[in-house]
């Protein structure tokens, strides 16, 4: 598997996106409008991050790897918390 030099702010934004999505997908979520807005803001931040205009960011596999990395690191942080 290829390793990409993701910036920390991009990884954190993807982790926050996953957290907001999990919260929205929970049974009987609270504050659904705020969560949907948060997802939109994070989606825009991720989509237009400057990393995607660099050579490593132009590879389609980079977006998939970012989601995997964010999910994996988010699960590790949840276990240690």
pLDDT at 1 over 90: no
Using CA atoms, how far apart are residues 13 and 63, in angstroms rounded to an integer?
Answer: 13
Q: Summarize pLDDT for 10-21 with one digit per residue, the tens.
A: 999 999 999 999
Estimate the share of the chain in helix, then strand, then coil, as percent rounded to the nearest 5.
75, 0, 25
Q: Summarize pLDDT for 34-75 with one digit per residue, the tens.
A: 999 999 999 999 999 999 999 989 999 999 999 999 998 777
Residue 63 and residue 7 in contact, taking contact as beta carbons nearer than 8 Å: no
Domains in the chain: boundaries:
8-80
pLDDT, residue 23, reads: 95
**4 falls in which pLDDT band (50, 70, 90)?**
confident
Question: Between 75 and 29, whose confidence is greater?
Answer: 29
């Amino acid at each position: 598997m290829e390793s990409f030099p993701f910036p920390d702010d991009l990884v954190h934004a993807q982790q926050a996106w996953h957290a907001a999505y999990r919260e929205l997908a929970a049974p009987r979520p609270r504050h659904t409008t705020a969560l949907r807005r948060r997802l939109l803001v994070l989606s825009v931040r991720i989509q237009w991050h400057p990393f995607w205009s660099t050579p490593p960011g132009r590879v389609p596999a980079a977006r998939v790897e970012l989601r995997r990395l964010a999910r994996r690191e988010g699960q590790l942080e949840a276990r240690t918390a």
